[in-house]
A and B are shown apart, each in its own frame.
Chain A
């Protein structure tokens, strides 16, 4: 057995960012341990054109297996991947972060009787095999997980793998898969409905969070403007939610939500541990606080000691200008 098969999710003619990251990672790892790096895509309509599929080659896939099956559901993909892995003998199945990745990977675990590691933050090659790293205990430790048999299943954490362009085009191969009976008993009635009213901070890539340092509820207007300029969502600390400055749905911290966005912008937040545990795995943490001793500066990537009322308005303008 050899090679890595990566699932690539697509929607309305575009591949999911986390899938592109996973394909890139699969290509990188295949180079280290040998074997092919391939992708598998599933569609029920015709929007998965040859061209679109072949574009996965840019991210390092040499082959793309394409199957016709219902979209947006996990179990048909389990059938497809199980067949491809059985026919082609892949050693690893790889998924980028995201719901479907978890569902498909888990189903595949059962189907193949395989080992699976979830919420993987990094993968390394060791003696021709892959070892997955994942955090545990609220990110206070990292475990190295080994696969006792093949194939092994690796499911990444959201945004764990970066999309890297390397290769050229990939060969597209159509596969015929007969779906299992149980994979046909779920029907998508409506997919991808947008609901503006619900604030979902857990899935946001970019968060602008406000704390007591904002001074009053009006301070959140600045946060909202910055969030809009950056293309993100607003969050809040417990203290200000308690004070009624912002709704509970946006609360981050010990009893609120836990987030891990690509950018966490903290305005007027001290960084006390009750809040820290809710956002410490954010990829990039920027903090503005007028207190140079605020604990948040101990774990922020970029800390600005200053008055947010002076800095934020100018920052908003500058970001708007940059993004055009």
Chain B
């Protein structure tokens, strides 16, 4: 019997549940010009660009009514749910805010030196020369949550309505045209009943809607299914767990690592590595990323990061410092073949990570998201001028004619070979890089992370016991994210709770926030009796710990937006 998560699908039919016509009476709907879902780089760039265009066209702006552009963000505010490495290519900022000098950007500037190391347990072997995908000259070190706060202020300055603590839970579609979104209810209890201060959501309608929800976009996923926009190749994801440290000595280089503690064999399918980027003189951003197609149920990205910190080189960097932030998020890594085949539908555009616009080998996505947001703004502007937003193909044209298309296409077959293990993967990736993407050609299939079978290994034996100073447990890490979700909030995670032991164990270890737990009795039973790992167990789920990384959606469950404002409140990730 297969214990792959895909055999235990969550109780949800996203296209049916999350797409439908408006339900509020017409005079109670909130009418705006354009609705943007998501306060990240894509959504905010779209909002700002559209504002700039409308400024040149007061007649059109007027016709959009009191609120030309409304941006909804499910976190406390833009930035609360954002996390990235990250290194940003400057092209998008230059295009969006040409009058702003680079020195005034909300970034930590550029870093001259970059290195890639191949790690073993005790050594760090530099790969010289630095492989091309890892070279970052001219790229800006940035904390994406800070970038979003900055862009959000700029957006508000030009009249965009930024609506924080507002989740978009349903896509409003009538006669094939997307009309807007329905916002989430507030004040429901654990069972979904109404509390005394229950406030229903509203139908927010506009002439065009942009879905920029980031990785695992809730409505983007539903829209792709509903309109049949998807590729035949499924999307894949990596899970990144990040920490920000105050350090005593400035880090003078950008570092990427491969190898330890990940294992090579094809049986493990552990693809990924780490990053360490300087944030000015006194802080370092670091994290570990691993593809969610790994097979060992005892593997945990969070604990791999903790283990990684015990490497002599890393200890040296962090020595005397202290952790000031932690977080986790998934990155879409299916690349070119897994991106939706169509990026638009009548009245609708999908931009950024929601559309898989990430260049995996280069770990770049922020500037693509921003460019895509701007393209959506431009296409929508043109459509508004024609007073007809059914045809937004202008958006897709712009994306296809841009570096988004060419860059991601170039690396289209780079991630897939790694499912065959590191060495084969490495060789193939190298070949692709050297030949500019031409060899080997063809179409390497991506696969569904949730279709991967697991086995129970013993990684837990090597993970360090958290000491609270250098290494940390999951719960206290969740605490530092500012997650103050109320205890009686409804469960926003759709998942089958009665599953085989090894699958439950996989979810328990996968989740960086300790949302899923195998009951103690079952764990003890396993230790004592070495039971059948395929027996069914009842998992314990604590949804209020959730930091909305999205890993569960990649691995057989489904994350839906919690009540607006819930979840982490990232500051410097």
Name A's B-contacting residues (CB within 8 A): 238, 241-242, 248, 251, 254-255, 272-274, 293, 295
Contacts and interface: CB of A to CB of B under 8 A. Distances in A.
23 contacts: A238-B487, A241-B487, A242-B487, A242-B542, A248-B487, A248-B488, A251-B487, A254-B479, A254-B484, A255-B484, A255-B486, A255-B487, A272-B473, A272-B475, A272-B476, A273-B475, A273-B476, A273-B479, A274-B475, A274-B476, A274-B479, A293-B465, A295-B468
A137 to B, nearest CB: 14
A255 B566 CA distance: 13
Nearest to A243: B540
Interface of A is mostly: helix
Nearest to B476: A273
B482 to A, nearest CB: 10
Interface of B is mostly: loop
A80 B569 CA distance: 48
Nearest to B477: A273
Contacts of B479: 254, 273-274
A248 B484 CA distance: 16
Nearest to B483: A254
Contacts of A251: 487
Contacts of B484: 254-255
B322 to A, nearest CB: 13
A238 B484 CA distance: 13
Q: How large is the interface on B (under 10, 10 to 19, 20 to 34, 35 or more residues)?
A: 10 to 19
Nearest to B485: A255
Contacts of B468: 295
Nearest to B472: A273
B481 to A, nearest CB: 12
Interface string B476-518: 1001000010111000000000000000000000000000000
Contacts of A241: 487
Nearest to B545: A274
Contacts of B475: 272-274
B489 to A, nearest CB: 10
Contacts of A293: 465
Nearest to A212: B520
A285 to B, nearest CB: 17
A121 B486 CA distance: 31
Greatest chain B CB density within 10 A among A251, A272, A273, A274 is at: A273
B503 to A, nearest CB: 23
A222 to B, nearest CB: 20
Nearest 5 CB-CB pairings of A with B: A273-B476, A273-B479, A272-B475, A274-B479, A255-B487
B540 to A, nearest CB: 9
Contacts of A254: 479, 484
A103 to B, nearest CB: 29
Contacts of B487: 238, 241-242, 248, 251, 255
A248 B465 CA distance: 32
A123 to B, nearest CB: 32
A211 to B, nearest CB: 13
A241 B468 CA distance: 26
A251 B487 CA distance: 11
A273 B475 CA distance: 8
A274 B475 CA distance: 8
Contacts of A272: 473, 475-476
A273 B487 CA distance: 16
Interface in B456-473: 465, 468, 473
Nearest to A274: B479
A274 B476 CA distance: 7
A238 B478 CA distance: 15
Nearest to B190: A242
B187 to A, nearest CB: 16
A273 B326 CA distance: 15
Contacts of A295: 468
A272 B475 CA distance: 8
A273 B542 CA distance: 17
Nearest to A256: B487
Interface in B214-250: none
Nearest to B520: A212
Contacts of A242: 487, 542
Contacts of A274: 475-476, 479
A241 B488 CA distance: 10
A272 B478 CA distance: 11
A6 B282 CA distance: 48
A293 B542 CA distance: 24
